[in-house]
Amino acid sequence: MTALALASEITSGDPLAAASAMRARGVPPELAAAALTQVDLRRRAASKFGADAASMFFTRAGLEQATRAVVANRRAARLVAAGVTTLADLGCGLGSEAIAAARAGIEVYAVDSDPATAEIAAANVTALGLDHRVTVRCEDATAVRVEDFDAVFADPARRRAGRGRVFDPNSYSPPWDFVAGLAERVPRTVLKLAPGIDHALLPPGAEGEWVSVDGDLVEAAFWCGPLAEVPRRATLLPGAAQLTGSGDRKALVGGVGAYLYDPGPAVVRSHLVAEFAETVDGRLADPDIAYVYTDEPHVTPYGKRVEITDVLGFSLKRLRALLRERGVGRLEIRKRGSALEPDQLRRDLKLSGPEAASLVLTRVAGAPTVILGRP
């Protein structure tokens, strides 16, 4: 039995006990540690890769940065629909994008400048039986002749050893000038970027898409050339709800209604709050705060709804008394446009009781406001 297979059979949640059990079976300490780490990473990876995770290989950093299968599969389907048959995958990481593209029928040339990462990507492609469609090389992305392919996908590294996440596009690897210039060389280019990317960096005529999975904002993607379909798109997975628009519209502004909607992060980051408000016949109570208000309840995938019971100016004493009077012991706190810290406020409120409520810290017509409601 291999060390990896043996590690998979050990169910102890105690790392020291598991390592001891491996050594008792004659596995050298370093190999035992590597096998147990890999098994742990496979378990963690199941949320991103499903059943595939059980036969793939991971590193901690690689798993954290890898595209979720649900996102990569949707991207591959969109590329195929656009007529893409060959793809250069620049900065392939552990191979999630290459795997999805290959399964969709695309021939992929995948490169990563890190030898260990490229080796793991190749192992994953082989483990999933896709090496007839994917070629993996350890190569500098800037050296790839991208003009030989129908399309290019680039995922520039946004981390540096000892520095953690890199937020400045000029510090990406490959550098931003190279990444941004790919669309001039291959019109059908897709760039996977950090969700906080500046809209001003969107190439002329390109589509900016912000993607969330189970409510978590996971990436921005710039679709260039003929791949662009709309100026802005918010995509919510796994349900595939999509909101599109120009990204520069202004929502109607009015009073607080009976219901408050907190738009999902993909909607906010894609600058589609006005488009969302229109879908629920809603309005903003402050032109600079992305909370939407309606007079009637609406079912929507684009935001979470709170039924409003009280609207008041902030006063800790008054708020504490009101929550105590209503027996509120469980409080969901949201904030936009408020300097208050939810964790500190929760401690200061000294909650006690069986009831639950939602509290929103915000501004209405520029004034600090507290909204109390039922989720």
Upstream peptide bond of 297 is cis (omega within 30 degrees of 0): no
Number of domains in the chain: 3
Query: Are residues 167 and 69 part of one domain?
Result: yes
Give a yes or no: residue 354 inside a domain: yes
Taking residues 324-353, what's their average pLDDT?
95
Query: Are residues 348 and 301 part of one domain?
Result: yes
Say what the alpha-carbon torsion angle 72, 75, 81, 85 is, to the nearest 10 degrees. Answer: -60
| Rounded distance between C-alpha atoms, residue 226 and residue 217, angstroms | 26
Of 160 and 135, the structure prediction assigns the larger pLDDT to: 135
At residue 161 the predicted structure's pLDDT band, cuts being 50, 70 and 90, is very low
Of 157 and 54, the structure prediction assigns the larger pLDDT to: 54
Question: What confidence score (pLDDT) does residue 160 get?
Answer: 54
Query: Are residues 221 and 141 part of one domain?
Result: yes
Query: Are residues 292 and 213 part of one domain?
Result: no
Query: Are residues 200 and 131 part of one domain?
Result: yes
Query: Are residues 264 and 235 part of one domain?
Result: no
pLDDT > 80? residue 249 = yes
Give a yes or no: residue 230 inside a domain: yes
Amino acid of residue 149 = F
Query: Are residues 175 and 136 part of one domain?
Result: yes
Q: What is the pTM of this model?
A: 0.90
Upstream peptide bond of 115 is cis (omega within 30 degrees of 0): no
Give a yes or no: residue 263 inside a domain: yes
pLDDT tens, 21-73? Answer: 667 666 677 777 777 788 889 999 999 999 999 999 999 999 999 999 999 99
| Rounded distance between C-alpha atoms, residue 214 and residue 266, angstroms | 11
pLDDT tens, 259-272? Answer: 999 999 999 999 99
Give a yes or no: residue 213 inside a domain: yes
Query: Are residues 203 and 159 part of one domain?
Result: yes
At residue 162 the predicted structure's pLDDT band, cuts being 50, 70 and 90, is very low
At residue 113 the predicted structure's pLDDT band, cuts being 50, 70 and 90, is very high
Give a yes or no: residue 23 inside a domain: yes
Question: Residue 222 — φ and ψ, nearest 5°?
Answer: -105, 115
Query: Are residues 239 and 151 part of one domain?
Result: yes
Query: Are residues 168 and 88 part of one domain?
Result: yes
% of the chain residues with pLDDT over 70: 91
| Rounded distance between C-alpha atoms, residue 101 and residue 95, angstroms | 10
Domain assignment of residue 22, given as a range: 3-47
Give a yes or no: residue 58 inside a domain: no
Query: Are residues 264 and 213 part of one domain?
Result: no
Give a yes or no: residue 325 inside a domain: yes
Query: Are residues 30 and 75 part of one domain?
Result: no
Q: How far is CA 56 from the centre of its chain?
A: 21
pLDDT tens, 276-311? Answer: 999 999 999 999 999 999 999 999 999 999 999 999
Give a yes or no: residue 331 inside a domain: yes
